[in-house]
Amino acid sequence: EITNICTNLQAFRTGIYSAEYLRSRVRFKQNRAAFCAIYTHYLCL
């Protein structure tokens, strides 16, 4: 029973971690897109 709880906790933690990781990757992509847009905008001025 205790080992089962531990395994569930581990899976739960891993799930949270991967969700955060995916979120940060998406945020990074959005930031990079915004940066490229600003950069090209200033390049074309």
- pTM of the entire predicted model: 0.48
Give me the pLDDT at residue 45, please: 62
Tally of domains within the chain? 1
The string of DSSP letters for 1-45 reads -HHHHHHHHHHHHHHHHHHHHHHHHHHHHHHHHHHHHHHHHHHT-
Q: What is the pLDDT of residue 38?
A: 84
User: What is the pLDDT, as a whole number, of residue 1?
Assistant: 63
| Top-confidence residue, 30 or 5 | 30
Question: Cα(17)–Cα(29) distance, rounded to whole angstroms?
Answer: 18
Q: What is the pLDDT of residues 8-45, one digit of tens each?
A: 788 888 888 888 888 888 888 888 888 888 888 787 76
∠ CA(23), CA(11), CA(22), 5° rounding? 10
The residue range of the domain holding 33 is: 1-45
